[in-house]
A and B are shown apart, each in its own frame.
Chain A
Amino acid sequence: MSRRARTDARAIGLALCVWLAGLLLASPPAGSTPDEYQVKAAFLLNFARLVEWPQKAMAADRPIVVSVLGSQEVRDSIAAGIGDAVIGEHPVEVQRIDSASEIGGSHILFVTRERAQEPAEIFRTARRHAALVVGESEGFAESGGTINFFTEDRKLRFEINPDAAKASGLKISSRLLRLAVLVGEER
């Protein structure tokens, strides 16, 4: 096409850039809402306080290990949210894992929505290691997860599958159960 059309294209492009720069400068400062995963980390701390692990899985003065099956970003965010919290006499450690085979030694396993496609093997391994499996995907608790986050009016809520907790040998306090939406396992 002609030179003219090209000049026009650049002019339109430039005008739009200026308009957008204006929009950007006029936009309110971002970052007013907290990071989703830092809030979820705070929930995880509360879960850890209100769940009782079997004796063999929780040695005295050993740390509580939170494993994140997901990206490094989510791990970092959760680690930032947990900070250097201590539960009872247990410090809390956050690590990232890449597959179900690395679950051993974890007390809480957080499965991000990107990694929730193939949960069957995760649930099996987690039950063997008495890990509390927490997800954030629709149907996660029904298909065998113990706790699952969902949002309602932009606020975080969670559901609990008591059968899954029992199968893992975990005791969940009545206070936690009261705040949760209880779901059953669908077979």
Chain B
Amino acid sequence: MSARRRGADISHWRRLWLYVFVLLVFAFLLTPVFIVVPMSFSGSNYLEFPPQTWSLRWYQAYFGSREWIAATKVSMIAALLTVCLATPAGFAAAYFLRHSQTRFAKAVLPVLLLPQVMPVILVAIGVFFLYIRLGLVDTLFGIVLAHTALAIPFVVMPILAGLRGFDERLEFAARNLGATRLQAIRDVTLPAVRPSVISGALFAFVTSLDEVVIGLFIAGGPNTVLTRRMFLSLRDQIDPTIAAISTVLIAVSIAAVVLFMLASQPTRRAKAAYDV
């Protein structure tokens, strides 16, 4: 509809250059993401495209390496723990921002947004400096704490948007009918803003899994995260094993995008609740 309204007087022929240009832009955007996938199945010692021979040797190199698997485990555990901590914390913060009208609450929002414009290298050296004093360098607890603090603002934003679109009087009604605040949140508010909570949790997961720079400073030794090991390996040479790891990570990202899009559709139950 918008296409007809905005551009009917210009023929597709005159727009041809735009279509070609945009096609090239999408090729530019997507080629680097997907070129790694066929290369990871190459049978040769070098990265070549298209591969002359096919094999799973780089996947064997990945899954057979104790170091890579250990790093993958640390990353997965850190990411899951980050989701478990950052999602409730982000919900609590968003709930606070939605319901408190005090001047203090108004000051909290910019404080939460600040880390998003702060260069990550500065966060990294600050956290490193703090952790040296607290003895938290290279500990799982330290990694999860840093990732949680980093993820909270990304969780608060979608949930706050969700809560703003939710009629809070439904929750008040539940509480006036005898539910405690926690019961009302659990049974009325949470189901209604579920999509935004899921997006927040996904943001937290991806934030933790993809974090590189802070990990370079505080996630070494027995608790080396996957991204740190990848980064250090890439600095020396272009190892085809990383193509295999990258393919796995791309699959995880696409799963995240699909989940994200599914989550942003309201569930049938939530729809039914609104229809009542």
Q: Do A and B bind each other?
A: no
Q: Which residues of B contact A (CB under 8 A)?
A: none
